[in-house]
């Protein structure tokens, strides 16, 4: 819609925001009307209309099989649009149109904002299935008529009340119509069932909805008065009512077709099962985070025991082997610590990489600088844990074998995300400017425990590739190519 409005019309950004607010709400009008809606806006030169949005009803058959968005229509071809735009009123005159042997009643509703008509909503009703309307359908149509008058007057949608239509109740979920005093005039079967879930034993019609809702909800002292007011539909609000029987989500919409509130619509939905699942997920997430926290603590305990044992070793080789084990355990503990702070099993690996680099840099024999460039991004836990170990081993290997005690140098870790979302890749390069590889060295056959761990983790668990070659100029370059899922 943004592109069409800016390309073809002279509407301002604030006008466009109003149209977005309208489009976020007009599923309600479409469902109540049993009709398709198409929003037409006059072009910059005033000679044509461009359709910038379309909505089909969930409560009835569509009148348009094709997508109408982007169509241009010359002024004069559709007289109802012209009359609504020029006169600023709802236009219902005219005989039904025939589209593919289907009779369609067309009405035009001007879209007003601050006294100006921005465009026109064409309301198209498929008459093929018209029958004697029930009480529910009559209530729907009357409510749709009231909303259409509010749109034409510029009082609907409500400014500052952006609605998430995916989360809000819809017409078919349950509907209650109130009079100006908040007394129920009509309750749909789904709406009545929702209140029965809260514990209501009688019918709703004739009862004051606010007082009834407050009586069913758990006592909250002074808050009850606010609940009575909100449930009576005096202002546009969304709220939930919870009691032992369930949870009901409600949305109140005041009806002011002529500027004075004549009543309200209350849309409601039984969200008991949805909230129960959400609580289960929250509990499960908390349990998983607690498990990661305990695993991290246990790993740190193991690392402390290994460190204590290393201090008691007489053999320098044995002491160094235990210290390497401490760093390996520490790298895994870092991942679990990060996971214990997240809501899902995905981690921002850049922070983990920086901590691993800092941990391994402590064993630097000389004045060697370790740094990271690029982004690892967000990784799944099953990738992050082995990758942290791999990074630890590669860095340890570079610091232990590439530099002498008095030598200065640099070890750089570079990360690049690439590939398609379906086949994402993470390319990691660890490059030093040390002494380089020994003559005839083959990393695929080397018996070094660290390199064996790297090969096993990269090729086995990560399904990637591992290479170790002389760096351009001087030193050694380790290249890891690992498949990863797309960032979210």
Q: Is the pLDDT of residue 370 over 90?
A: no
229: confidence class by pLDDT, cuts 50, 70, 90:
confident
Q: Which residue has the tokens 């002529």?
A: 258
* For range 393-397, the mean pLDDT: 86
Tokens coding 122: 């064409």
Q: What is the pLDDT of residue 408?
A: 80
Radius of gyration of the chain (CA): 34
pLDDT at 283 over 90: no
| Residue 224: band (very low, low, confident or very high) from pLDDT cuts 50, 70, 90 | low
Do residues 1 and 52 lie in contact, with contact meaning Cβ atoms separated by under 8 Å?
A: yes
pLDDT band at 83; cut points 50, 70, 90: very high
| Span 58-75, average pLDDT | 91
CB distance 153 to 113 below 8 Å: no
pTM of the model: 0.65
Q: What is the structure's pLDDT at 18?
A: 94
pLDDT attached to residue 253: 94
342-353 average pLDDT score: 82
Give ∠ CA 71-74-77 in degrees, rounded to 5. 105
Task: Report how far residue 289's alpha carbon sits from residue 283's, in angstroms, rounded to the nearest whole number.
Answer: 10
pLDDT for 221 beyond 60: no
| pLDDT for position 341 | 76
Average pLDDT over residues 406-419: 83
Place of tokens 């003559």: 439
Report which of 110, 143, 137, 107 is spatially closest to residue 42, judged by C-alpha positions.
Answer: 110
Query: What pLDDT score does 346 carry?
Result: 82
């Amino acid at each position: 819609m943004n592109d069409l409005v800016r390309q073809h019309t002279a509407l301002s950004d604030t006008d466009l925001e109003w149209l977005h607010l309208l489009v976020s709400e007009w599923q309600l009008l479409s469902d109540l009307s049993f009709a398709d809606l198409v929003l037409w806006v006059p072009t910059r030169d005033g000679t044509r209309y461009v359709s910038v949005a379309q909505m089909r009803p969930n409560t009835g058959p569509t009148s348009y099989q094709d997508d109408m968005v982007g169509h241009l229509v010359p002024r004069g071809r559709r007289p109802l649009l012209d009359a609504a735009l020029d006169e600023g009123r709802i236009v219902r005159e005219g005989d039904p149109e025939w589209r593919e042997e289907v009779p369609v009643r067309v009405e035009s509703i001007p879209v007003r904002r601050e006294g100006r008509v921005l465009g026109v909503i064409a309301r198209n009703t498929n008459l093929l299935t018209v029958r004697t309307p029930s009480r529910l359908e009559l209530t729907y149509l009357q409510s749709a008529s009231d909303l259409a008058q509010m749109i034409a007057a510029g009082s609907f949608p409500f400014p500052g009340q952006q609605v998430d239509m995916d989360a809000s109740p819809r017409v078919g979920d349950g509907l209650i119509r109130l009079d100006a005093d908040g007394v129920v005039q009509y309750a749909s079967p789904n709406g009545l069932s929702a209140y029965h879930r809260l514990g209501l034993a009688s019918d709703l019609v004739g009862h004051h909805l606010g007082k009834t809702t407050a009586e069913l909800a758990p006592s909250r002292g002074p808050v009850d008065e606010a609940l009575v007011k909100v449930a009576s539909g005096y202002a546009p609000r969304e709220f939930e009512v919870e009691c032992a029987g369930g949870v009901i989500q409600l949305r109140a919409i005041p009806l002011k077709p002529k500027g004075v509130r004549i009543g309200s619509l209350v849309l409601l939905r039984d969200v008991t099962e949805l909230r129960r699942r959400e609580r289960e997920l929250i509990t499960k997430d908390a349990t998983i985070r607690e498990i990661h926290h305990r695993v991290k603590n246990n790993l740190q305990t193991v690392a402390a025991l290994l460190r204590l044992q290393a201090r008691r070793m007489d053999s320098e080789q044995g002491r160094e082997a235990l210290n390497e084990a401490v760093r390996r355990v520490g790298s895994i503990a870092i991942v679990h610590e990060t996971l214990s702070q997240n809501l899902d099993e995905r981690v921002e690996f850049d922070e983990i990489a920086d901590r691993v680099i800092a941990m391994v840099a402590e064993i630097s024999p000389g004045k060697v600088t370790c740094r990271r460039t690029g982004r690892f991004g967000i990784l799944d836990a099953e990738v992050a844990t082995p990758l942290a170990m791999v990074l630890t081993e590669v860095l340890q290997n570079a610091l232990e074998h590439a530099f002498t005690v008095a030598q200065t140098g640099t070890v750089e870790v570079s990360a690049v995300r690439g590939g398609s979302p379906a086949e994402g890749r993470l390319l990691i390069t660890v490059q030093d400017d040390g002494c380089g590889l020994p003559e005839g060295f083959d990393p695929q056959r080397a018996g070094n425990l660290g390199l064996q761990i790297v090969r096993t983790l990269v090729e086995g668990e990560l399904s990637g590739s591992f290479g170790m070659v002389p760096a351009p100029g001087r030193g050694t370059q380790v290249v890891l190519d690992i498949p990863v899922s797309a960032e979210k």
